[in-house]
Amino acid sequence: MNGNLTRILVIGDHSEESIRRFRALPNCSLVIAENVRDVPQEELRETEIFVGLPYPELVRQMPRLRFVQLYSAGANTYSWLPKEVVLANAYGAYGESIAEHLLTATLMAMKRMPEYLHMQDRQDWALLDDIVRFSGCKVLSVGMGAIGTAYLRKASALGAECYGVRRTLHDRPDFVRELVTSEGMDALLPEMDVVALSLPGTKDVEGLFDERRLRLMKKNAILLNVGRGNSVVTEDLLRVMKDGWLKAACLDVMDPEPLPKGHPLWTAPRVWITPHISGGYRAGVNYESVIDTVIRNLTLVLQGQAPVHVVDRELGY
């Protein structure tokens, strides 16, 4: 085998079209396997580029490794990778689909649809009050990456007044009325009808929404979380929901996760749970977007150029 070829290992269950695209990459020796256990040790030793979800024991078997490409947008759990290994994520590949999930959850909670569905199960006929219109409401996205930005763009198109929170202030989109850092968030919370979290699972956002911040929100506000469960203090959320605070909490992520049977979140009033399904490959278009990102980065690296969406190991994204 030509020693000048870059050795790439791709792990995952891929479509025939994706495999064709991987095999069309130039100047490389490619191995594709559904499971890393199927890859011979000698192949691991020669791997320079790894596509998939690495773990320490695996990386120790790849002494020539210099670049890791994730399928996920989340990257905060990979700080252990050697500093000489460049890490890139699939930033942006899931934004539109997760934003649609947020929009669905918002409208569902505003129109009290879960409660009507429960009424149907009981064959009850009753009219619920406190039905909210999207148009004219105030929506805050805590996190202004691909997900939060796409959600506010859609919310604005439906007539909402949009606000955003990001780590540093730059590039305020036209559809966002005001952009603040986390230091300015508390002043906005009492005015917001909807607060949507799309934060990474990093230490600096752990417990960001504790009881104090949850009670800063309007009593009839809606909380959404599609980022990581650790940004909301579960015990505090349970307490405020049982006290009748917040119109609804729509959680696609939670702490702990997976949520065990018997956990009080399952039966907490006005808490609507989905099992971390807003992103991932469940929507075929998500898979295609991820593969587009992966192929683009592999092409750049093979051409000797810098990849996009390189993860800052200290920030975790």
> What is the residue range of 198's domain?
132-275
The Cα diameter of the chain in Å comes to 74
| Prediction pTM value | 0.87
Does some domain include residue 50? yes
Whether residue 252 sits in one domain with residue 138: yes
d(CA 101, CA 286): 13
Q: Is the pLDDT of residue 131 over 70?
A: yes
Phi and psi at residue 250, to the nearest 5°: -105, 110
Specify which residues 10 forms β-bridges with: 32, 51
Whether residue 259 sits in one domain with residue 179: yes
Whether residue 248 sits in one domain with residue 162: yes
Task: Give me the mean pLDDT over the 101-115 stretch.
Answer: 97
Task: Give me the mean pLDDT over the 138-147 stretch.
Answer: 96
d(CA 150, CA 190): 23
Percent of the chain with pLDDT over 70: 97
Whether residue 142 sits in one domain with residue 270: yes
Task: Give me the mean pLDDT over the 108-125 stretch.
Answer: 96
Both tokens of 238, joined, read 């349970």
Q: pLDDT (tens digit, 9 = 90+) per residue, 230-286?
A: 999 999 999 999 999 999 999 999 999 999 999 999 999 999 999 999 987 656 678
Whether residue 288 sits in one domain with residue 268: no
Whether residue 66 sits in one domain with residue 176: no
Whether residue 271 sits in one domain with residue 140: yes
Domain count for the chain? 2
Q: Is the pLDDT of residue 295 over 50?
A: yes
Domain holding 47: CATH number? Answer: 3.40.50.720
Whether residue 138 sits in one domain with residue 63: no
User: Whole-number mean pLDDT of the chain?
Assistant: 94
Secondary structure letter of residue 252 according to DSSP:
S
Q: Using 50, 70 and 90 to split pLDDT, how confident is the model at 1? A: very low
Q: Which residues are catalytic?
A: 228, 257, 276
